[in-house]
Amino acid sequence: MAGPKTELVDEIRMVSLYGNKADGYLWSLLKLLRFVDSWFIGNAPMLKQYFGKMEYEIAKQRISELVAVKESNEKAEKDFDNLCDFEAVAV
């Protein structure tokens, strides 16, 4: 019988190595873990402990691609302008 930690590690591995879909919770967790790993300066990043040496490089790349937030500049500028207009009216 697998415990919660084992199930979570299995889910992380399935998403990062085999392309399974991540739900919102797992996406958020992967985003945080990848961020921590990118800032970690020591010898034991958070994600690395769950993968073999070859697997880790693949998983790291796939997780980075998965959690990258991409938005067109035009849409972002329009949303920002709308927000500024809204705040000006609200004040």
| Residue scoring higher pLDDT (2 or 63) | 63
Q: Is 40 a residue whose pLDDT tops 50? A: yes
- Residue showing tokens 């996406």: 27
Distance CA 75, CA 82 (A): 10
Minimal CA–CA distance to 47: which of 4, 83, 8?
8
Distance CA 41, CA 8 (A): 25
Highest mean pLDDT among 19-28, 31-40, 80-89: 19-28
pLDDT digits (tens, 9 = 90+) for 63-88: 989 988 765 555 555 554 554 454 44
Confidence of residue 46 (pLDDT cuts 50, 70, 90): confident
Confidence of residue 36 (pLDDT cuts 50, 70, 90): confident
Q: Where are the chain's structural domains? A: 4-90
